[in-house]
Structure 1
Amino acid sequence: MLTTRRRVATTVAVALAGALLATSCGDSDGGSSDGKTLRLWHYEGPDSAMGVAWKEAVKEFEAQHPGVKVKFEEKGFEQIQKTAPMVLNSDDAPDLMEYNKGNATAGLLSKQGLLTDLTAEVTRHGWDKKISGGVRTISRYDTNGVMGSGKWYGVPDYAEYAMVFYNKDLFKKYGIARPPTTLDELTAAMDKFVAKGVTPLANAGAEYPAQQYLYQLALSKADRSWVDAYELYKGKADFHDAAWTYAATTFADWVEKGYIGKRSSGLKAEDAGVSFIQGKSPILFSGSWWYGRFKTENTFDWGTFLWPGSGLTLGSGGNLWVVPKGAKNKELAYDFIDITLSKKIQNLLGDKGGVPVAADPAAVTDPRAKSLIADFNTLSEKDGLAFYPDWPVPGFYDVLVSETQKLITGSETPDAYLSALQKAYDKGVPKT
């Protein structure tokens, strides 16, 4: 999955509020037709594009449903990631929640019978007509929990992809005239920063950023069939092939050259993002989920570019709206999803720096937002979204974190690193 996303969103967990209004009578599947409260969980930061858009969606929902209130309970990404199976198998399950997409997360929950099959609702509301094929991949899961086919268990209302965020002021200060268009130009730029005592790449080894740098290096030597073998089991994933070997050895080399700080092994995604926001790190490779926050908090001139020299990058449809099997107000949940896919909310999401799936392009007026969406369209048109490294098998995110930390500290060789990944991956691949 993650993407762990892997998330920028605040990790402050708001304590669960009191009991719900006891006005709904549930059927055997947990649903009700007269509920007065929609319990909503998500982990997007309030200043992010999604956070802003969904706050407006709450207002729209309550306006359309007099007497119904949305009880929003903010969660941290890691909190939901670790506790979802337990919570969704209890009476405390929300009616609607944001959850990570991919085999190891939404796929696993669907296989365990913890999510509602949304296929009929997708057809009834026409959501499938708003969500393109590339984004749709992460919405459907087969009986083994493998994405790409089968029933709809989640609905994304945005897309996401990874890019290089760069500090234009620092680039200018250190004599780098323009954003790199090749990997050689990128390494030359990083050499200039290192020569001046500046660590060029913001990184976080304790969460997703480090593994995403490494996966992007592998993608620069890969093609679609390689991605399909790794993510969808359409072939055998070999962690000692040319792409993975290049990625691991190059990543370790970048640590030695000072492009990546050795002390970053214990940092979290928030630390990496704040380092960029504070102007300490000139470059951050991460996802579009940071865009809205950078727009709000950066006090310097900044921009983005796609990873140079690669036709593939990390990305997919965004995290999913999922309806727990035991949700007590399913119809309300479906209505809320529908509102987030409306033109009003989609246009707002796009203008705030998100990547909407059903916006009117002419309605997005912010120049940076237009650039963000244009780059996504470029990737989408050439089938360049390659998902995330932790998606293929359950528990792989934690393996990637711990093993990539060892590469950063130098306590493990690239060859041993790749062998550890192979072992964990092979153990988790569904047996057919």
Structure 2
Amino acid sequence: MRTRFLRLGSVAAAVLLAAGCAETGGSGPAAPKDVSKELSSEKVTLTLAYTDDPPVKALIEAFQDKHPNITIKGQQTPFSDYVKSIKLSMASDEPPDIAEYNPGAMRSLVPGGLIYDLAPYEELYGWQDGFPSSSLEVLRSDAKAKEYGTGGLYAVPGALSVLGVFYNKQLVSAAGITQPPATLAEFEQNLAAVKGTGTTPFSLGSLQVGGFQLWNALNNSLGDEQQYRDWVYGKSGATIETDSAKQAAQKVADWAGAGYVPESANAIADTDALANFTQGKNAYFITGNWYAATIAEAMGDNAGFFLFPTAKQGNPAVASGASVAFSISSKTKHPNEAAAFLDFMRSPEAAKVQFESGFMPVDTSADLQATGVTAEVTTEFAKVVADNGIVPFPDFASPNMIDRLTSGVQGLVSKQMTPDQFLASLQESWTEHHD
């Protein structure tokens, strides 16, 4: 998520006192009661607040086809406003029944008792076997939402994703490049070759998340995977002020200085960066498979995809990935029907929707008839899953980390911030939240 984190404070405290069917004990995480797979046969209406589409609208339609008595009214908010609006609406007297969840920016909803700990439904439905364990890991946290990978389960994935590099086959071919790079050093050579043809290599929108996705990919390539996980998950004593993270930040600054990113990158939004890439203005675009369907439609067979290359050939594949995830309000009047929607995410019907929307299905064993760039995304995703190399995004590390990442990379690109200052800013945010 991209907007500034707002603490709920007394508003959240007031809501806790009237938390409906929640068993909160006055504060802390809320737990549902009377959980059941038996759904109402009467007409039921649920509201679902979300920002990402695709795939949410299509998932709603597919679920309603299977449960015609349940109507889900979607409430979409632009990405730039979603975090602020959803945290306020979840603390209101009439919150949405289901909300798309970001475990970094929205973690205050957990100790505030505004969303359910889904552990009872996890046991009822067998979600520990029905969802990939890595996709659930980052959606678990302790009661204070300080550390991931432990404690309650506060959301389930609605579609999976992975960060990688889309590329324009014609532009890279014009630079004499015949195959995706095997190492980071080879990728740097390719960037120089593309620049030599007069094309700016990267489409980059550092006004929003695109900038820090570049640093993120570099850090995944150069850094220690477990060290990074510990930092994002909030493990005591973890730090991002490492030699590899500094090297990744320096690469961002160096590549900007070499003209590998647009001069106006800090004024370019993510959607504009996408448009610039699909219109053939740049050769590479670092983003996730959530844009695969759009890119495939715009570019056809001219689009390709590869994982950001590792520092050394043969190293295990590592890439940040996450999911479109859904939580249930602790004030919903229909928790079992809301939970049925969450369980639907692992169904064959949902897998078809998820894949056609450009995402990886929650059911990783689903038979996908992929072609074109979506087939390349599928192949690359399988590689990183096989290496157990999916790691969380860095903005999950603290509530306001996304702001530090965004402004920090803008500083690196404009040479207004040094790598040391950038990392110190990130660690300051981490320490303020975890210590």
TM-score in terms of structure 2 length: 0.85
Indicate yes or no: 2:336 matched with 1:331: yes
2:350 corresponding residue in structure 1: 345
1:154 corresponding residue in structure 2: 155
1:380 corresponding residue in structure 2: 385
Indicate yes or no: 2:421 matched with 1:416: yes
2:27 corresponding residue in structure 1: none
2:105 corresponding residue in structure 1: 105
Cα distance in 1 for residues equivalent to 2:393 and 2:78: 20
Q: Following superposition of structure 1 onto structure 2, how do residues 29-108 of structure 1 map, counting pairs within 5 Å?
A: 29=22, 36-45=44-53, 48=54, 50-51=55-56, 53-61=58-66, 64-66=67-69, 68-100=70-102, 102=103, 104-108=104-108
Would you say the 8 A contact 2:148–2:234 is kept in 1? no
2:26 corresponding residue in structure 1: none
**SS at 2:260 equivalent:** coil
How far off its partner does 1:257 sit?
0.3
Q: Following superposition of structure 1 onto structure 2, how do residues 1-400 of structure 1 map, counting pairs within 5 Å?
A: 2=1, 28-29=21-22, 36-45=44-53, 48=54, 50-51=55-56, 53-61=58-66, 64-66=67-69, 68-100=70-102, 102=103, 104-145=104-145, 146-234=147-235, 236-299=237-300, 301-310=302-311, 311=316, 313-358=318-363, 360-366=365-371, 368-400=373-405
Alignment-mate amino acid for residue 140 of structure 1:
R
What CA deviation, in whole Å up to 9, does each residue of 1:303-341 have, x standing for no partner?
A: 101111254544334021101112233222112222232
Would you say the 8 A contact 1:347–1:364 is kept in 2? no
Would you say the 8 A contact 1:57–1:336 is kept in 2? no
Moved more, 140-149 or 351-360: 351-360
> Can you give the 5+ residue segments of structure 2 that lack an aligned partner in the other structure?
4-18, 23-31, 34-38
**SS at 2:110 equivalent:** helix
How far off its partner does 1:415 sit?
2.4
Cα distance in 2 for residues equivalent to 1:363 and 1:285: 24
How far off its partner does 1:55 sit?
4.4
Cα distance in 2 for residues equivalent to 1:392 and 1:352: 28
**SS at 2:244 equivalent:** helix
How far off its partner does 1:161 sit?
0.8
Would you say the 8 A contact 2:168–2:304 is kept in 1? yes
Distance 1:201 1:115, change over 3 A: same
How far off its partner does 1:27 sit?
5.0
Cα distance in 1 for residues equivalent to 2:158 and 2:100: 11
Alignment-mate amino acid for residue 112 of structure 2:
Q
Would you say the 8 A contact 1:85–1:114 is kept in 2? no
Over the residues paired in the alignment, what is the CA RMSD in angstroms? 2.5
Alignment-mate amino acid for residue 38 of structure 1:
L
Would you say the 8 A contact 1:400–1:421 is kept in 2? yes
**SS at 1:356 equivalent:** coil
**SS at 2:305 equivalent:** strand
Distance 1:117 1:420, change over 3 A: closer
> Can you give the 5+ residue segments of structure 1 that lack an aligned partner in the other structure?
6-25
Alignment-mate amino acid for residue 320 of structure 2:
G
Moved more, 328-337 or 204-213: 328-337
Cα distance in 2 for residues equivalent to 1:213 and 1:303: 18
Cα distance in 1 for residues equivalent to 2:320 and 2:257: 28
Report how many residues are paired: 400
Cα distance in 1 for residues equivalent to 2:432 and 2:71: 45
Moved more, 313-322 or 247-256: 313-322
How far off its partner does 1:419 sit?
2.4
How far off its partner does 1:234 sit?
3.1
Distance 1:233 1:360, change over 3 A: closer
Cα distance in 2 for residues equivalent to 1:319 and 1:348: 13
Would you say the 8 A contact 1:351–1:364 is kept in 2? no
Alignment-mate amino acid for residue 362 of structure 2:
V
TM-score in terms of structure 1 length: 0.85
Would you say the 8 A contact 1:38–1:71 is kept in 2? yes
How far off its partner does 1:363 sit?
4.7
How far off its partner does 1:58 sit?
4.1
Distance 1:368 1:318, change over 3 A: same
Would you say the 8 A contact 2:231–2:240 is kept in 1? no
Cα distance in 2 for residues equivalent to 1:122 and 1:70: 22
How far off its partner does 1:270 sit?
0.9
How far off its partner does 1:52 sit?
6.2
Moved more, 196-205 or 359-368: 359-368
**SS at 1:176 equivalent:** coil
Cα distance in 1 for residues equivalent to 2:417 and 2:322: 34
**SS at 2:232 equivalent:** helix
What CA deviation, in whole Å up to 9, does each residue of 1:345-398 have, x standing for no partner?
A: 213422443211215533534454343233222212212112111111111101
Cα distance in 1 for residues equivalent to 2:365 and 2:388: 22
